[in-house]
Amino acid sequence: MLHPYKPKGLENLDPKFYDSDPVPSWVGMDAYVAAIAYNTVEAKKNNLVPPKSWWDLTKPMYKGHVIMPNPNSSGTGFLDVSSWLQLFGEKGGWAFMDALHENIARYTHSGSKPAKLAAAGEIPIGVSFAFRGARSKAAGAPIDVIFAKEGIGWEIEASAIMAGTDKLEAAQTFMDWTITKKAMVMYNDAYAVVGYKGVAKPVKYFPPETMSQMIDNDFEFAANNRKRILAEWQKRYDSKSDPKN
């Protein structure tokens, strides 16, 4: 399906941003990361304290005060679920999600919606992605962006060449460009995390320890088990999902 190609300048990228084959089949440019959007005003009204870990969200004080995306309709939701299974193991991951489910008010069908609802004061805690929370805070919302201490899930935006293309030379030229420093500087306008080492500038209200908190993401595990994981999640937790429009 994919034509392996090693773009010029690959050595400038963090190894997290390309596959481990000697000649990679895909190469990443930027990434978005999971985070907790915490409304400090609403939390104070409900006598909550800031969570420091994913497991903190299972404590009784947070019951009914947490929302997150449904992984069947949100890529952000799936990166959360996949990361929890990787962090805590198969048994531990589902045990965590069982406990978290008890505190969930609702599951949304959008990855950004939990952060937006937290920013609007409709819920104290939204499990979302960090950039959305940071943007809400920059717009004046009383939001803190929190990275759970166990580590954070993330998803990569990557490029690849389709096998059998009759435009191979042009595709390779494009791949070379996607990982140039110039391109990465442009990506950094919208993404706090980019693949080129040393390019990413700090984003206002974004936790500074982003790269160190990103888990060692097993993309092969996520891809090979996606269908099974989503079916199991649906069976266990879909009762709290928002109605689909």
Distances (CA, A) of 100 to 26, 159, 189: 34, 35, 34
Residue 28 domain flag: no
Q: What total number of domains does the chain contain?
A: 1
- Phi/psi of residue 51, nearest 5 degrees: -70, 145
Q: What is the pLDDT of residues 199-231, one digit of tens each?
A: 988 778 888 788 889 999 999 999 999 999 999
Residue 180 domain flag: no
* Cα gap 120→143, rounded to integer Å: 10
Residue 51 domain flag: yes
**pLDDT score of 244:** 85
Residue 47: which CATH number? 3.40.190.10
Q: What is the DSSP string of 34-92?
A: EEEEEEHHHHHHTT-----STGGGGSGGGTT-EEEE-TTT-HHHHHHHHHHHHHHHHHH
* Cα gap 102→57, rounded to integer Å: 10
Residue 9 domain flag: no
Residue 71 domain flag: yes
Residue 210 domain flag: no
pTM: 0.91
Q: What is the pLDDT of residues 119-144, one digit of tens each?
A: 999 999 999 999 899 999 999 999 99
Residue 69 domain flag: yes
Q: Which domain holds residue 82?
A: 33-154+218-240
